[in-house]
Structure 1
Amino acid sequence: MKFPLYFSRKIAFSKDNKNNLSRVIIFIGRLSVALGIIVSLITVSTGFGSKKAIKERLADFSGHITIKSTRSNSSYNTSVLDNQGLDIQKIKQIPDVESVQKYATVTGIMRNENSFAGIIFKGIGKDFDSLRFKKFLIEGTTPKVTEVGFNNSVTISQKIANDLHLKLKDSIVTVFSKADQKPIYRKFEIVGIYKTDIKMIDDQFVLGGINHVRKIQDMKANEMGGLDIFLKDINNIDKDFPEIEKFIGYKNYAEKATEKYPQINDWISIFDTNIALIIIIMLIVVVINIIMVLLILIIERTNSIGLLKTLGASNSQIRKTFINYTLIIMIPGLLYGNAIGIGLLLIQKFFGIIKLNPENYYVSTVPVDLNPLAITSISVGILIISGLALIIPSYLISKISPVKAIKYN
């Protein structure tokens, strides 16, 4: 075993540390490291967790990638998808694509004796994935659509249900308008109530049978207003997007889930800045504390440094000894910090103790993403950066004279 590592371990685990200033210094060093790890873990896990949870909510409602006609533009009344160049089978064969669902939308007004609400009626087909949507349901089910005839069942949001004082099995009249024609009235039965916590969705969307939209929009039986494409992993959306675009045709366009709501995407991007800022601040605090620990330990053990120099140890060996000594001091802080930080995050992940206002944060509880790579990177990163930061202050050792150091008391 090399001398610096051997001697640093000897002084680190020496019983003398329990009876002198080292005890307090070691405690301060370990405490700062533990707090830095805890804050960094919570920041990264909740920050990435929030980004992932919001993106997944957007995607699970309306697809990771949506294909629409260029004639639809930003209108909520979808135009018919152009079949020229559109190859749905090729899209389904892309390895990362999990499912593809047809839909069509039209705007309308739900009204009763008490109030009214402007809505976007999203017509779904028989390929609708009710299991994926189940996480949003708080009561009832989604409409059972067969695309044969008209299904008068709808699933509405909790927000719309509260505004119109509706509950399961209630009936509600919806008015749809057509250019140069009389309004079209439809009576629906409420079979389900959902909540996504995404205000732009909960305020507007109602799920019902696609044939109603086809009838209102004068679409043919096999025509659709768009396709919702669901991927196996939302993190692959940027990689898969160009592949999907190859099979959508020239008169259609593809859109990512986050692009539909740019204000949410802009808000999500702030997480990256906040995460980086907090980690940098905590890293600076940890490094400053560890440097102070090293300097105080050098001053406290001036006699030992003088003795080592007298016995022939070089300045480089002694510097490495004290850097190793300080890093060894940090290890219990790393372990305790990870244990406490991961413990707190697991409690939040499984019990959702800390709640949020979904109108401001788009989620009702603080989400947690326990990424092993991120957790490991935080600990290893702090250890490496601290080690590098200790190199310059360790040169104080070369200024210590062996004769004066041995006399130092």
Structure 2
Amino acid sequence: MKFPLYFSRKIAFSKDNKNNLSRVIIFIGRLSVALGIIVSLITVSTGLGSKKAIKERLGDFSGHITIKSTKSNSSYNTSVLDQEGLNIKNIKALPDVATVQQYAMVTGIMRNENSFAGIIFKGVDKDFDSLRFKKFLIAGKTPFFSGEGYNNGVVISEKIANDLHLKVKDSIVTIFSKADQKPIYRNFEVAGIYKTDIKMIDDQFVIGDINHVRRIQDMKPEEIGGLDIFFKNINKIDQDTPKVEKFIGYKNYAEKATDKYPQINDWIGLFDTNIGIIISIMLLVVIINIIMVLLILIIERTNSIGLLKTLGATNGQIRATFINYTLIIMVPGLLYGNAIGLGLLLAQKFFGIIKLNPKDYYVSVVPVDLNPLMIVSISVGILIISGLALVIPSYLISKISPVKAIKYN
């Protein structure tokens, strides 16, 4: 074993540390490291968890990317998807594509004797992924859409249900308007109620049979308004979108889930900034405290430094000894910090202790993403950066004269 590492361990585990200033200094150093680890773990885990949860909610409701016609305007009434160059079979065959579902949309007004609500009626076909949608259901079920005839069952949001005082199996009249024509009335039955916690979705969208939209929009039986494409990993959306675009034709375009709602995309982008700022502050606090610990330990053990120099130890060996000593002091702080931080995160993950207002945060519970690589990286990163930060202060040792140090008391 090399001398610096051996001697640093002897100092670290020395009984002298329990009866002098070292005890207080070591406690302060370990406490700062533990707090730094706890705050860093919570910041990164909840920040990444929030980004992931919001992206998944957006994507799982309306597709990770959506294929639309270039004729589509700002209206929610979809234009017919152009079939020239569109190859749905090849899109489904892409390795990263999980499912593809057809849809068409039209705007309308749901009305009863109590109130009314403007809605976007999203008609889906037999390829609708009801299992993916199931996570949003809070009451009832998703109707079975066979692609034939007209299914009058619809799934409405909790917000619309509350506004119109509706519950499962209630009937509701919906009015659709067409240019230069009389309004079209449809009577639907509430089959299910969903909740995504994303206001822009919950305030408007109703899921129903695509054949109703086809009839209202005078579309042919085989025509569709767009495609919702779901990837196996939403984090690869930027890499996978160009692969899909090869098979959609030049008269259609692909729109990412996050691009549909730019305000949400901007909100998600803030997480990266906030995580970076908080991690930087905590790292600075840890480094300052660890440097303080090193300097006080050097001053406290000036006699030992002088003795080591007299016995032939080089400045480099002594610096390495005290850097190793300080890093060894940090290890219990790392362990306690990880234990407490992970304990708090696991409690939040499984029990959802801390709640949020979905109107402001788009999720109702603080989400947690426990990535093992991230957890290890935080601890190793703090240890390495702290070690590098100790190099310059350790040069104070080279200024200590052996003769004066031995006399120092």
Give the TM interval when normalised to the shorter protein: over 0.9
Other structure's SS at 1:185 match: strand
Q: 1:193 offset after TM fit, Å?
A: 0.4
In structure 1, the residue matched to 2:47 is 47
In structure 2, the residue matched to 1:228 is 228
Q: 1:72 offset after TM fit, Å?
A: 1.1
Q: 1:73 offset after TM fit, Å?
A: 3.0
Q: 1:373 offset after TM fit, Å?
A: 1.3
- Residue by residue, what CA displacement relative to the aligned partner does 1:193-239 show, whole Å, maximum 9, x if unpaired? 00000000000000000000000000011110000000101011011
- Residue by residue, what CA displacement relative to the aligned partner does 1:93-151 show, whole Å, maximum 9, x if unpaired? 11010000000000000001111000000001011111111110000011211121111
Q: Is it true that 1:211 corresponds to 2:211 in the alignment?
A: yes
CA–CA separation in structure 1 for the residues paired with 2:243 and 2:236: 11
In structure 1, the residue matched to 2:35 is 35
CA–CA separation in structure 2 for the residues paired with 1:15 and 1:91: 69
CA–CA separation in structure 2 for the residues paired with 1:75 and 1:222: 22
In structure 2, the residue matched to 1:76 is 76
In structure 2, the residue matched to 1:138 is 138
Report matched runs for 1:111-126 at 5 Å. 111-126=111-126
Tell whether the 8 Å contact from 1:143 to 1:207 is kept in structure 2 after alignment.
no
In structure 1, the residue matched to 2:92 is 92
Q: State the aligned residue count.
A: 409
In structure 1, the residue matched to 2:358 is 358
- Residue by residue, what CA displacement relative to the aligned partner does 1:71-104 show, whole Å, maximum 9, x if unpaired? 1133200011111000001101110100000000
CA–CA separation in structure 1 for the residues paired with 2:343 and 2:329: 22
Q: 1:3 offset after TM fit, Å?
A: 0.6
- Residue by residue, what CA displacement relative to the aligned partner does 1:368-408 show, whole Å, maximum 9, x if unpaired? 00111111111111111101110111011111111111111
Report matched runs for 1:298-309 at 5 Å. 298-309=298-309
- The letter of the residue matching 2:161 is A
Other structure's SS at 1:356 match: coil
In structure 2, the residue matched to 1:196 is 196
Tell whether the 8 Å contact from 1:63 to 1:229 is kept in structure 2 after alignment.
yes
CA–CA separation in structure 1 for the residues paired with 2:388 and 2:240: 40
TM-score, with structure 2 as normaliser: 0.99
Report matched runs for 1:5-404 at 5 Å. 5-404=5-404
- The letter of the residue matching 2:20 is N
CA RMSD of aligned residues (A): 0.6
Which stretch shows the higher mean deviation, 28-37 or 69-78? 69-78
CA–CA separation in structure 2 for the residues paired with 1:74 and 1:314: 74
Other structure's SS at 1:156 match: strand
Structure 2 unpaired stretches of 5+: none
CA–CA separation in structure 1 for the residues paired with 2:147 and 2:400: 87
Tell whether the 8 Å contact from 1:57 to 1:196 is kept in structure 2 after alignment.
yes
CA–CA separation in structure 2 for the residues paired with 1:64 and 1:15: 61
CA–CA separation in structure 2 for the residues paired with 1:76 and 1:336: 53
CA–CA separation in structure 2 for the residues paired with 1:95 and 1:147: 27
CA–CA separation in structure 2 for the residues paired with 1:98 and 1:330: 46
List structure 1 segments (4+ residues) > 4 angstroms apart after TM superposition: none
Q: Is it true that 1:408 corresponds to 2:401 in the alignment?
A: no
Tell whether the 8 Å contact from 1:121 to 1:208 is kept in structure 2 after alignment.
yes
- The letter of the residue matching 1:240 is D
Tell whether the 8 Å contact from 1:172 to 1:187 is kept in structure 2 after alignment.
yes
CA–CA separation in structure 2 for the residues paired with 1:251 and 1:73: 14
CA–CA separation in structure 1 for the residues paired with 2:150 and 2:90: 30
Q: 1:164 offset after TM fit, Å?
A: 0.5
CA–CA separation in structure 1 for the residues paired with 2:143 and 2:359: 27
CA–CA separation in structure 2 for the residues paired with 1:327 and 1:73: 61
Other structure's SS at 1:103 match: strand
CA–CA separation in structure 1 for the residues paired with 2:381 and 2:19: 32
